[in-house]
Amino acid sequence: MGGVPERIIRESHAMEAVIAEAERAARTEAKVLITGESGVGKEVVARLVHARSGRAGRSLVVVNCAGVPDELLESELFGHMRGSFTDAVRDKAGLLEMADGGTILLDEVGEMSLRMQALLLRFLENGEIQRVGAPQPSQTVNVRVIAATNRDLSECVKRRQFRQDLFYRLNVLALDVPPLRHRGPDIAPLLRHYLTAFAIQYRVPAPRLSADAMYRLQLYRWPGNVRELRNLVESLVARFPGQRIDLAQLPWPVQQAAPLDLDRSSTRPTGEILWDAIRDGGSFWSVVYAPFMSRDITRDDVRFVVAKGLEHTGGNYTTLVPVLNLGNRDHKRFLNFLRKHDCNEPARPSRTLGLQRPAA
């Protein structure tokens, strides 16, 4: 990984909002704390903040704070003097010095020991660098600090695993990257992006996903987020170049993905179940469109979901895009679908006034 940020693929409103926040953050010098589950794209977002900032001409240095013994992390960050420990055969600059004028990403900052937290706090207060083994600080540097973690740092503060003063210092601008399962519209474009990218890298024709495979991949919960998706696509390209990928070629957990329990004996109306799945981040296309096209749900179910959405938007069809997780470029396709299948007349009249028909 690493390098200049590749294209950040996104169609979801949620991710679009994160990118907009990151671009706003880039125009400031404030510290940024990026949170989110493993593999959601925290580093990608950090790289965007750096690349869009006035520091873009200087380096972005990434330090992984997890799993590194204290002494090593201290010397990595602050540098060391010759003879300060056995392997220190010459003076060495730390990463904070190397990032002077640029940005440092402290990845997995939640894993830092309390001792390292104290050293980091001291640095954040005055920008002074004291190399390991040096009697006093040698210089001050100007580094923008971005921290990332998949932990809930305020919880760590409560449990006294993370210093409160450090938390407040790092958490000036907060960017939370949502998990992929709450960004339904991003899944299909990410799949297409990586199918093409790995096909080019391996110099093979890209595999094609069957409609059923695509559907299941969109229902799957992606516990490992974008990283898991990327790895899965890489293995599909390697194993099935130029071939058609159906359900059977997908890993077992993906084949099993069926969060919508459309059990007919259930007393819950289907529309309610669909609506919950949308509120949970599923996209209209995978939650409603796909089962409608395969006749698993009825026109009234579709109308129910649309009516629910319209209740949220005060009857406005345009602002349904984020509510139904449609994807930012899909609005026209959505209206065409409603018109074609006669679904734009909600099943129940909405209680909200001002219900509009889509523009013809």
Q: Does 187 contact ligand ATP by CB under 6 A?
A: no
CA nearest 55: which of 17, 77, 25, 93? Answer: 25
Q: Cβ(80)–Cβ(132) under 8 Å?
A: yes
Q: Cβ(129)–Cβ(78) under 8 Å?
A: yes
Minimum distance, C-beta of residue 142 to ligand ATP, in the bound complex (Å)? 25
SS3 readout for 278-331? HHCCCCHHHHHHHHHHCCCCCHHHHHHHHHHHHHHHCCCCCCHHHHCCCCCCCH
Of all residues in the shown chain, the one whose CB is closest to ligand ATP is: 41
At residue 128, φ and ψ (nearest 5 deg) are: -85, 140
- Binding residues for ligand ATP, rule CB under 6 A, total 17
Site stretch for ligand ATP (CB under 6 A), options 21-29, 37-45, 137-145, 232-240: 37-45
- Binding residues for Mg ion, rule CB under 5 A, total 2
Site stretch for ligand ATP (CB under 6 A), options 8-16, 199-207, 292-300, 338-346: 8-16
Q: Does 227 contact ligand ATP by CB under 6 A?
A: yes
Q: Which x/- pattern over 104-123 shows residues binding ligand ATP (rule: CB under 6 A)?
A: ---x----------------
Other CB atoms closer than 10 Å to residue 132's CB: what's the count?
Answer: 19
Distance CA(311)–CA(351), nearest Å, equals 7
Nearer to ligand ATP, 223 or 354 (CB): 223
Round the CA-based radius of gyration of the chain to a whole number and report it. 25
Residues in region 228-287 near ligand ATP by CB under 6 A = 230
Q: Does 216 contact ligand ATP by CB under 6 A?
A: no
Nearer to ligand ATP, 41 or 102 (CB): 41
Q: Does 40 contact ligand ATP by CB under 6 A?
A: yes
Q: Does 111 contact Mg ion by CB under 5 A?
A: no
Q: Which x/- pattern over 125-154 shows residues binding ligand ATP (rule: CB under 6 A)?
A: -------------------------x----
Dig out the tokens for 329 from the structure.
């470029």
Q: Which of Mg ion, ligand ATP, none interacts with 36 (beta carbon under 5 to 8 A by kind)?
A: ligand ATP
Q: Does 43 contact Mg ion by CB under 5 A?
A: yes
Name the amino acid, one letter, at 152. D
CA nearest 80: which of 129, 27, 15, 141? Answer: 129
Question: For the chain, how far is it from start to end, CA to CA, in angstroms?
Answer: 47
Question: Residues in the site for Mg ion, rule: CB under 5 A?
Answer: 43, 107
Question: Residues in the site for ligand ATP, rule: CB under 6 A?
Answer: 1, 8-10, 36, 38-44, 107, 150, 226-227, 230
